[in-house]
């Protein structure tokens, strides 16, 4: 069932009506979106307890009440994606696949800047090729184990998506994600390449002639890029290999999860 809520005040404007910037422009970045969304959730009394902001270093949840909340901002529910994870903790999935590359990078960091700058292009190509072969090496069993572990860390969370374009907030429990039902029902995940995306694969689930697309995409990449690997970036001192699980097709996801929907 979908639930709708609209804040209406015929007299003075409620602070919850004016907190959201609804022209689609950036409003103090992601943190401000979290604060605005929290105020909205409290104004409609969505949860029994007061929703309080968390986030920051060492905090997994963006907000807490009787549940943990993960808050996403979308400028149009049909556009873009969001991350379920972006981490290096699963790198042992690939064994020593990147060991030689990382040793090569370490040696290059000892060279003068001008020589490191020359190395950027070919090391970037090396990394792209390694990320591609890493994905190709991933078996269905290892992929299932990876997905189960990632989503086990989402247990107890509500996913809260604020669509600033349609002026709606969508809420669903992470356990409602269709990937969990697909695995439970014996569907086998398969990585499907898309044009020009060496380090990225769409995840589909197959059983016999049936195919389920849950909108998930797996990426193997670096978090800060080759320049940071080589000590050439002013913004980041180093880089590392990371696995990213992304959610595409967010509009379909809120349908599949039967997300609650509130208008503001």
**Domain residue extents for the chain:** 15-263
CA distance 26 to 163: 12
The confidence band for 30, taking pLDDT boundaries of 50, 70 and 90, is: confident
Count Cβ atoms below 10 Å from residue 184 Cβ, excluding itself: 8
pLDDT at 83: 96
* pTM metric for this prediction: 0.86
- The stretch 205-230 carries a mean pLDDT of 98
Average pLDDT of the chain is 90
- The stretch 132-157 carries a mean pLDDT of 97
CA distance 134 to 129: 9
Of 134, 130, 88, nearest to 239 (Cα)? 88
CA distance 141 to 49: 40
Q: Report whether pLDDT(206) > 70.
A: yes
Q: Report whether pLDDT(26) > 50.
A: no
Q: Report whether pLDDT(69) > 50.
A: yes
Backbone angles phi, psi at 4, to 5 degrees: -120, 145
Q: Show the tokens assigned to 154.
A: 């989402």
All residues at 6 or more sequence positions from 173 whose CB lies less than 8 Å from its CB, including other chains: 157, 158, 159, 257
Which has more pLDDT, 71 or 195?
A: 71
pLDDT at 256: 97
């Amino acid at each position: 069932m979908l639930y709708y809520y609209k804040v209406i005040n015929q007299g003075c404007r409620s602070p919850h009506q004016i907190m959201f910037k609804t022209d689609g422009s950036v409003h103090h970045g992601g943190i401000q979106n979290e604060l605005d969304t929290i105020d909205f959730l409290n104004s409609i009394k969505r949860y029994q307890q007061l929703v309080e902001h968390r986030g920051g270093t060492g905090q997994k949840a963006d907000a807490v009440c009787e549940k943990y909340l993960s808050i996403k901002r979308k400028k149009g529910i049909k556009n873009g994606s969001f991350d379920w994870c972006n981490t290096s903790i699963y790198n042992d999935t690939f064994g020593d696949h990147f060991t030689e590359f990382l040793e090569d990078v370490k040696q290059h960091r000892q060279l003068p800047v001008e020589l490191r700058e020359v190395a950027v292009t070919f090391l970037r190509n090396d990394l792209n090729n390694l990320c591609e072969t890493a994905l190709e090496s991933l078996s269905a069993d290892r992929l299932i184990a990876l997905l189960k572990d990632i989503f086990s860390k989402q247990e107890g969370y509500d996913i809260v998506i604020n669509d600033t374009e349609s002026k709606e907030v969508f809420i669903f429990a992470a356990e409602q994600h269709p990937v969990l039902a697909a695995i439970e029902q014996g569907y086998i995940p398969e990585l499907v390449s898309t044009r020009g995306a060496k380090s990225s694969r769409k995840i589909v689930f197959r059983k016999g002639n049936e195919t389920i697309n849950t909108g998930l995409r797996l990426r193997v990449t670096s978090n800060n890029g080759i320049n940071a690997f080589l000590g050439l970036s002013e913004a980041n001192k180093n880089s590392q290999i990371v696995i990213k699980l992304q959610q595409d097709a967010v509009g379909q996801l809120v349908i599949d999860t039967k997300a609650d929907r509130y208008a503001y």
